[in-house]
Structure 1
Amino acid sequence: MNKLITAPGRLARRMLPFRRRPRAGAELPFFAVPADAISVLPDPAAFRQELLRLIAQASRRIVIVTLYLQDDDGGREVLDALYAAKARQPALQVSVFVDWHRAQRGLIGKQKSEGNAGMYREYTARLGPGVDIYGVPVQNRELFGVLHLKGFVIDDAVLYSGASLNDVYLVRHGRYRLDRYHLLQHGGLADAMAGFVKQHFIGSDAVQRLNVAEVPSTKSLQPAIREFRQELQRLSYEVPQATLASGEVAVTPLLGFGRSDNTLNEVLLDLLRGTRERLIVLTPYFNLPRQVRVLLGQLLRRGCRIDIMVGDKSANDFYIPPGQPFKTIGLLRYLYENNLRRFVRAHRRQVDSGQLNLHLWRDGDNSYHLKGLFIDDDVAVLTGNNLNPRAWSLDLENGLVLRDPAHLLRAKHEAEWAALRRHATRLADYRALESPRRYPAEVRKLLRRLNRVRLDRLVNRLL
């Protein structure tokens, strides 16, 4: 009955054009960062080179926050650099924060092991103390949420990327996983991001060192993890009320955690609502939260042009090459492709007219991991948020909102977008995607089983 009563109002809100409103995010506090202190790095090789350069030159602090620091050549190269920097500068504070669960398991599909934490302990035993590596348990189990904060703070520099640290992200052996890479030189922003993790992570009983001989069990930490999770939902970065001068860009770091009162989610939705003419969405997995899908539909009805770039099925990091044994995790890329097919079919009129452009990225056997937004010519969002239901409600996320009313960064953003499109193809029609009838037999069988019991929706939310 209530739904019937409210139906006319809900229908009107969907059909009527947006009310004109002030530019979204205008009330956010911010750091005033000179535009020439913000750089866009072109590729994974430049990211690796800049990260190692910053570590080698560090004099006061190195605070690295990432999903994982892998036990492979890329991860060891970074650890070697951290220990070398500490040896050169004994007073240097070096802290690394990784996801607690991800650090203590082997790779999916591989034999059971002590995970990356074994490498951390081996380095400490061989080279001694000085590099503190912490595991951050956002949830009791990895399936229900991980540490997905991003940002490498080295002295007064913030190197921000959605990339983790391993061979493929650091393009160590030919193959790469493409992300976005931005360098912001600003002491206040660096202090806020480093200060947050030092104050709230190191100060929590749930966050424990991983490169020590005795590591507590997850079970013993469950009360502390519960308390930590409740605290995270109340936290935010400390950001001043600054004034924007000529030549400066407003940069706001935001935190996001939980289904409700999630500041990052709320600001992203507000920014999307405020789009005037043009929106570019970057996401590695086409699995948009419902609120985002609804807003995209409203923007299209309003006449905005939307470009969405996503990785081709073969550029997904869950891709299993032909000839290798099929694993259930490989089903995900087919689920994402089905999501994309439904979206394109639902908006085929806008696709045909060029108002909606879906770009599929593919470059050989490399993979795609881009996230973020470009809104009109004056707002950009740098984030590790995958713009999927898991990021929206389970993982601990962050992002940087860049507001640029004077269009000082427009040339850099246009160059970044042009470079990304070099390996992308516009999807002209949903029929250009592989038909589900041509999927491998194991995939067709699993998809039928999931669809029969509606488990595909649950999988989309969790993975």
Structure 2
Amino acid sequence: MEIPDPELPGIPIDPQDLEILDTPTRFYEKLLELTASTERRLALCSLYLGEGDLEKNLIAAIRERSEKSEIEVTILLDFLRGTRTNSSGESSVTVLKPISEKSKIYLFHTPELSGLVKRVLPQRADEIIGLQHMKLYIFDDNVLISGANLSDSYFTNRTDRYFLFRNCKPLADFFHEIINVVADSSFIVENEQLVPSPKCDVHPYLGSAHLYREMLKTRVNRVIEKYKESRKTSSNCMSADTWIYPVLQMGLLGIHQEFEFLQKLFSLKNPELKMTMASGYFNFIRDYEESILKEGDYHLDILTASPFANGFFESNGFSKYIPPLYSNISDQFLRKREINGRLNVKMFEYRREEWTFHAKGLWAEHNNQLMTLIGSSNYGYRSVHRDLEAQVMVVTRNPTLIDRLKDEKNLLFEYSSILDMAALQQPEHHIPPLVRVISRLIRSFL
């Protein structure tokens, strides 16, 4: 397959050590199952933790496990989302209180939100500046990677993707170290207070944003170089039919592994290559649009959420305009597709009664090989430039695993229909004139 090489070296795995979960309920059950069997380390890295009974039950399970066994527990969330309170005054931080004494709880705060902007922007709106968006769940040497957060809807009726890599110490060690260096550069919960970590040499928003970015970039790059060295000295199994590659995207720090890989991938010229892309929030940056529509030549299917499956559908306040914003983005993309004659690029929308759509990723199929990317990235401006993102790329020639990966992808399309100019004329896709006017101004915050 003409798949470009990612920046970081790969890890050969046994396909049987990759478990693909197919429902939110199974994702939740697996979190509890892995928690109960953890013996050394447990790390949860997510945007936020919800305040419902399911989330509290998960925290209770972690507490029970840590009382039975001396395990290292690390929680990394985003500061802005993790401190947002609900109507009852609860937040991620308050839900974590039962395990705060025996765990290390960190909250990453983007250095881009500081000074007057931090004082002026209200809660919720301040999150557009940048977030900790990685979704990595580590239990000993097992890595569960997803696009799903730790919240009740993600455990019940929010469609996403979930891959569990079992007994993969190199991958677990790498992501555990990434979590730790971001955590060391974040706020820590200490005596029910939020204070900068003792290892955070520059205050996340009171200090110099430039110095903070350089500090964190240096720390992340050390982990990257350590991983590269470890793969050089490890025994490679060149005959393996399945490889996995960690992929980071931290544009905030000038780390662009995902962006550079996708630029090469989207520019491929191979009419026999079939590519599929999914994102609950479809918002390609201009670089990706131009590579796909003006340079690339392959079949591409794009799956995104219908307005009904958008998590902001029928919201209050400005949030109610978010589904029409994405309809407008899809409208503009399809018009550019027509202009460039890329008729083998098609769009589909996901709609399932009482479900929302949050799945994201890429699949590429060619010559009895299949590649897929799974993780937190939505491939939009925020993912590229503002947020901290992590993915895993799987490349396989194993026929059984290829069938499993195809089944996972096809399951998403069972609830989809074509999204074209005719579909965009339906009432649910109505785009108010105001949305068309401001769309270009705010796309970089989506």
Instruction: Provide the alpha-carbon RMSD of the alignment.
Output: 2.8
Q: Name the amino acid aligned to 2:293.
A: G
Q: Contact 1:282–1:373 (CA<8 Å) still a contact in 2?
A: yes
In the aligned structure 1, how far is the partner of 2:339 from the partner of 2:434?
32
Q: Contact 1:120–1:210 (CA<8 Å) still a contact in 2?
A: no
In the aligned structure 1, how far is the partner of 2:61 from the partner of 2:428?
50
Three-state SS of the structure 2 residue aligned to 1:52 is helix
**Superposed displacement of residue 261, structure 1:** 4.6
CA pair 152-298 structure 1, distance change in 2 beyond 3 A: same
Q: What TM-score, normalized to structure 1?
A: 0.81
CA pair 28-136 structure 1, distance change in 2 beyond 3 A: closer
1:370 matches 2:355 = no
Describe the superposition over 1:204-236 as per-residue Cα deviations: whole angstroms up to 9, x where unpaired.
3xx122363222389964255734433344524
CA pair 422-225 structure 1, distance change in 2 beyond 3 A: farther
Three-state SS of the structure 2 residue aligned to 1:307 is strand
**Superposed displacement of residue 106, structure 1:** 2.6
Q: Contact 2:328–2:439 (CA<8 Å) still a contact in 1?
A: no
Partner of 1:94: 73
Q: Contact 2:51–2:90 (CA<8 Å) still a contact in 1?
A: no
Partner of 1:82: 62
In the aligned structure 1, how far is the partner of 2:361 from the partner of 2:346?
16
Q: How does 1:309-320 map to 2 (within 5 A)?
A: 309-320=303-314
In the aligned structure 1, how far is the partner of 2:335 from the partner of 2:376?
28
Q: Name the amino acid aligned to 1:278.
A: K
Describe the superposition over 1:41-87 as per-residue Cα deviations: whole angstroms up to 9, x where unpaired.
11111111111100011111101100001111222121111111111
Q: Name the amino acid aligned to 1:295.
A: S
Instruction: State, as a whole percentage, how many aligned pairs show the same letter.
Output: 23
Three-state SS of the structure 2 residue aligned to 1:393 is helix
Q: How does 1:67-78 map to 2 (within 5 A)?
A: 67-78=47-58
Q: Contact 2:12–2:240 (CA<8 Å) still a contact in 1?
A: no
**Superposed displacement of residue 407, structure 1:** 5.5
Partner of 2:175: 193
In the aligned structure 2, how far is the partner of 1:258 from the partner of 1:220?
20
Larger % of strand: which?
2
In the aligned structure 2, how far is the partner of 1:154 from the partner of 1:437?
42
Q: Contact 1:371–1:386 (CA<8 Å) still a contact in 2?
A: yes
In the aligned structure 2, how far is the partner of 1:192 from the partner of 1:366?
34
Which of 325, 332, 335 is residue 325 of structure 2 equivalent to? 335
Which of 238, 249, 269 is residue 256 of structure 1 equivalent to? 249
In the aligned structure 2, how far is the partner of 1:133 from the partner of 1:273?
41
**Superposed displacement of residue 196, structure 1:** 2.3
User: Unpaired runs of 5+ in structure 1?
Assistant: 1-20
CA pair 297-438 structure 1, distance change in 2 beyond 3 A: closer
Q: What TM-score, normalized to structure 2?
A: 0.84
**Superposed displacement of residue 160, structure 1:** 0.7
Which of 189, 214, 227 is residue 230 of structure 1 equivalent to? 214
Partner of 1:447: 435
Describe the superposition over 1:169-194 as per-residue Cα deviations: whole angstroms up to 9, x where unpaired.
011xxxx1111010101112111111
Q: How does 1:5-20 map to 2 (within 5 A)?
A: none
Which of 415, 418, 422 is residue 410 of structure 2 equivalent to? 418
Q: Name the amino acid aligned to 2:169.
A: G
Q: How does 1:61-460 map to 2 (within 5 A)?
A: 61-89=41-69, 91-106=70-85, 113=89, 115-121=91-97, 123-124=98-99, 129-141=101-113, 142-171=127-156, 176-185=157-166, 186-198=168-180, 200-204=181-185, 207-210=186-189, 212-216=191-195, 221-223=204-206, 226=209, 227-234=211-218, 235-236=220-221, 237=224, 238-239=227-228, 240-241=231-232, 243-258=236-251, 260-274=254-268, 276=270, 277-298=273-294, 302=297, 304-320=298-314, 326-348=316-338, 355-376=344-365, 377-405=369-397, 409-427=401-419, 429-434=420-425, 439=430, 444=432, 446-447=434-435, 451=437, 455-460=438-443
In the aligned structure 1, how far is the partner of 2:321 from the partner of 2:391?
29
1:462 matches 2:445 = yes
Q: Contact 1:45–1:170 (CA<8 Å) still a contact in 2?
A: yes
CA pair 140-295 structure 1, distance change in 2 beyond 3 A: closer
In the aligned structure 2, how far is the partner of 1:26 from the partner of 1:149?
19
**Superposed displacement of residue 438, structure 1:** 7.9
User: Unpaired runs of 5+ in structure 2?
Assistant: 114-126
**Superposed displacement of residue 398, structure 1:** 1.1
Three-state SS of the structure 1 residue aligned to 2:280 is coil
CA pair 202-26 structure 1, distance change in 2 beyond 3 A: closer
Describe the superposition over 1:6-55 as per-residue Cα deviations: whole angstroms up to 9, x where unpaired.
xxxxxxxxxxxxxxx96411674111112221121111111111111000
CA pair 251-44 structure 1, distance change in 2 beyond 3 A: same
Aligned residues: 412
Q: Name the amino acid aligned to 1:287.
A: N
**Superposed displacement of residue 99, structure 1:** 0.4
Three-state SS of the structure 1 residue aligned to 2:394 is strand
Q: Contact 2:188–2:195 (CA<8 Å) still a contact in 1?
A: no
**Superposed displacement of residue 203, structure 1:** 3.2
CA pair 228-153 structure 1, distance change in 2 beyond 3 A: farther
Q: Contact 2:324–2:432 (CA<8 Å) still a contact in 1?
A: no
In the aligned structure 1, how far is the partner of 2:342 from the partner of 2:171?
43
Three-state SS of the structure 2 residue aligned to 1:310 is strand
